[in-house]
Chains A and B, each alone.
Chain A
Amino acid sequence: MAGERRIVVRVNGVSYDGVVEPRKLLVDFIRENLGLTGTHVGCEHGVCGSCTILLDGEAVRSCLMFAVQADGAELLTVEGLAEGRQLHPIQEAFVEEHGLQCGFCTPGILMSAYELLQHDPNPSDETIKDVLGGHLCRCTGYQDIVESIRLAAMKMGTLAAHSAKAYVT
């Protein structure tokens, strides 16, 4: 097809080759070309947050980027959080605090929470809510999500304190 480009993207530590039209959205590349359907498409105009991934360590809305822009980048998607059957502490916290119901918004929120806790290991509720402002959830009413992220911070703080085996993601 006219204008197609070859790109190389590292996702969750694995390198992928792709050939894409420039207009192919990053979220669609992740889901369709790479088969990583944990990242969701919600609004396609940057308000719902369900497409959120980490690009070079930063939470971004992958529906607002083109795959060609991710050439050479390092991505982390929700599939990259757990290690085999071992859930990431953030995921454990969401299980324990009932931070999801249908789960559609959840992957995006997990990625934003992940970025938050990298920068701010002990966020205030205000900060957590600020981050959640970029995500829409129709099921939970958000309160359990706030508590899940609070618990996640505690879990990760505990892990860091007992850093004999620091949790590496």
Chain B
Amino acid sequence: MKPAPFEYLAPASVAEAVAALDQGGDEAKVLAGGQSLVPLLNLRLARPTHLIDINRVREMDYIRDADGGLAIGALTRQRTVERSDAVRARCPLLQEAVRFIGHPQIRNRGTVGGSLAYADPAAELPAVMVALDAELRIAGPKGERTVAAQDFFVSFLTTALEPGELLVEARLPAWPANTGWCFLELSRRRGDFALVGVAVTLTLDESRAEFKGGRIVFTGVEGRPARGRSAEQMLVGSRPSDALIEQIGLEAAAGLDPASDVHASGKYRRAVAGELVRRALRVALERARRGDAITT
């Protein structure tokens, strides 16, 4: 099948894009990488009246230093993030996660902002942004606003973006000292949608003998990224041990109630979630102990 007809606008700046979205009205859609949207158009599952192609808004394609952390423009290609030395050094969790997105051809076009704004329940980047306590900058007819990642993802394919608004940037805080990371997901084939995925960060105290805290955020278990808060609590002031990691895995999984679908049962997803947490914690701990010698 071929897409239904639409009006096509190709703004060259954020201001023009916001104006174009306004012009397009309720049934306008933003076209960034197109790796999720165009299949919908081709199958006529979506029939927007207007397509606002933002691929010429070059001012949204950047990776910049921001108070020791990173500011990543929404149009930044996933492939750029995958290859970026700055991301590798300052936000290794993001670089590890981006490699799980689809296939190289998808990452050549797919954008950071697109993945976040689309908010697929099994996507990698939303979980990573929540794990990093990222802030998301949004431009709209009434100006700009910032939303914490935790609040940005509302539900299945639903974000805090209001009609007429455009995600313009993800701002990641400086990477804390003594912090390890790991992103893992399980899919039937490499590049398939995740059945379950987890983004983990783990911070040791200065002596590196105790956990100071961490983040455990799942994807694929709910309509939006799911934080394992009770499991995270077990990472505060405790001493690393195999037994503790085992317990944290169990606690993280116990808090989940994933739906069953054609790909996996809820029970299976829960079991996999627990195992992924255990594996991710072990890797993250090793990386935290190694300190700033970040290798992949």
Please list the residues of chain A having a beta carbon within 8 angstroms of any beta carbon in chain B. 2-3, 5, 21-23, 25, 28, 44-46, 49, 52, 58-61, 63-66, 68-69, 112, 115-116, 129-131, 133-134
Contact = CB atoms under 8 A, between A and B. Distances in A.
A60 B189 CA distance: 20
Given A22-B51, A64-B34, A131 B103 contact: yes
B53 interface: yes
A3 B103 CA distance: 33
B103 A60 contact: no
Interface stretch (B38-46, B162-170, B233-241, B276-284): B38-46
Given A45-B39, A112-B105, A134 B5 contact: no
Given A60-B109, A64-B39, A65-B34, A134 B103 contact: yes
A5 B4 CA distance: 16
Given A22-B8, A63-B42, A64-B35, A133 B189 contact: yes
Nearest to A131: B104
B11 interface: no
Interface in B103-141: 103-106, 108-109
Contacts of B42: 25, 44-45, 63-64
B102 interface: yes
Contacts of A3: 5, 7-8
Contacts of A52: 105
A133 B103 contact: yes
Given A22-B51, A65-B38, A133 B190 contact: yes
B53 A69 contact: yes
Given A22-B51, A23-B3, A64-B34, A134 B104 contact: yes
Count chain A CB atoms within 10 A of each CB in B35, B51, B108, B190 and give the residue with the most.
B108
A70 to B, nearest CB: 11
6 contacts: A58-B79, A59-B105, A115-B104, A116-B104, A133-B103, A133-B190
B105 A134 contact: yes
B108 A60 contact: yes
B97 to A, nearest CB: 15
Contact of B6 (A23, A45, A46): A23
Interface of B: 1-8, 10, 34-35, 38-39, 41-43, 51, 53, 55, 79, 102-106, 108-109, 189-191
A7 to B, nearest CB: 11
Contact of A133 (B53, B79, B191): B191
Nearest to B41: A23
Contact of B1 (A44, A65, A130): A44
Contacts of A112: 104-105
A113 to B, nearest CB: 11
B2 A23 contact: yes
Contacts of B191: 130, 133-134
Contacts of A129: 190
Contact of A46 (B10, B53, B106): B106
Contacts of A61: 35, 105-106, 109
B190 to A, nearest CB: 5
Given A23-B3, A45-B43, A134-B191, A60 B105 contact: yes
B103 A5 contact: no
Contacts of B5: 2-3, 21-23
A21 B6 CA distance: 9
A120 to B, nearest CB: 11
Given A23-B41, A45-B43, 14 more contacts: A3-B7, A22-B6, A22-B51, A44-B42, A46-B38, A60-B105, A63-B38, A63-B42, A66-B8, A112-B104, A130-B103, A130-B191, A133-B189, A134-B105
A2 B6 CA distance: 10
Contacts of A66: 8, 38, 53
Nearest to A68: B8
